[in-house]
Structure 1
């Protein structure tokens, strides 16, 4: 156990620049998402808030999708996203697309939180804390790690292709890469459970507080 922990910490230290880069890319996406909210005109915000208000009313009346259906939808969405990053990591030319995917995840989070706060003030912040924060405490680190691991593997492929003498087999590196992504999928499934069962209930309590 100690050896595995040491190996993990050593891996992070060796690739710290990549992890920092991906984290900053995600953070820039969040900021960009918030900027998009501020750039929207009044009519656009009102139209979008109309649909959001309808969703809140449906949640109060319990007429939205079941938790089981939401869990299935959430899990397969994250699974497909992670598998796409995994596949892109196998191809060197897919690296810029990985950057775009991580950036867009940040944009979605930034826009969602920014819009709620912009339209609802402190209640919007509470709604964001209830509906977005819980699962993203797990999901955001998973995506940052997935993007970083994909980049690390791609750089490893580049080094093997450009090195004049490289006798190291590729299979062990690929197996480690696949195993780590399997762990990330398990982690994101936990986030999907939170997103499907816990977040809706906490959000429902906030909505009842707002509308009462």
Structure 2
């Protein structure tokens, strides 16, 4: 009962932040998808060549070093979260957190938009197996960390510059705990990307190689 009340209080206090950050992220997704149409034919051809080599590598089973794949994937995800964590501890970092959320959305929107625009249904299938599964965890973790970082940054402003009373230790530990839990979830995502994603991508790449060649 107490836990439910705490959750309700948390959502009441942070709902506006979640909506705001969510809108920023979705705006980034739309922007990334629109950017696909702004590419020149030469740029599209260059990306197509890169993807063609990538699809061939996947089909040939080049990505078999799961340890290296896990380390690279986990390092990429954890750096993103740690940057948000550091920015949240500085007031000037607050707008940069929003920029990171926008960029993350733009990357996803561009990736999916290009695959679908260039390869039609096979591209959508590839996006569903290579982009969607891990982002079901990555995106919520990113948004939760961002909201927590923004809330903590606002708390710092009130605590330091507006001379309001309140404890600093508890919000800081809650902030660090959120980042730690997100890091654990992202480790699981990295394992998925290292062990499962290559197998799933290999199912779809034959269709894409035919179109790209």
TM-score (norm 2): 0.93
Match of 1:96 in 2: 95
1:65 CA drift (Å): 5.7
Contact preservation (8 Å) 2:32, 2:106: yes
1:6 CA drift (Å): 3.3
Partners of 2:200 and 2:36 in 1: how far apart?
A: 25
Partners of 2:209 and 2:44 in 1: how far apart?
A: 20
1:211 CA drift (Å): 4.3
Contact preservation (8 Å) 1:149, 1:177: yes
1:209 CA drift (Å): 4.3
TM-score (norm 1): 0.93
1:109 and 2:108 equivalent? yes
Match of 1:184 in 2: 182
Unaligned ranges ≥5, structure 2:
none
Partners of 2:164 and 2:24 in 1: how far apart?
A: 34
Contact preservation (8 Å) 2:87, 2:149: yes
Match of 1:144 in 2: 143
Encode CA deviations 1:14-36: one digit per residue, 9 max, x unaligned.
11110111111111111111111
Partners of 1:198 and 1:7 in 2: how far apart?
A: 36
1:195 and 2:193 equivalent? yes
Unaligned ranges ≥5, structure 1:
none
1:8 CA drift (Å): 2.5
Encode CA deviations 1:183-210: one digit per residue, 9 max, x unaligned.
1111111222222222221111011344
Q: Equivalent residue of 1:121, what SS?
A: helix
Partners of 2:164 and 2:145 in 1: how far apart?
A: 29
Partners of 1:49 and 1:142 in 2: how far apart?
A: 31
Matches within 5 A, 1:65-80: 66-80=65-79
Match of 2:129 in 1: 130
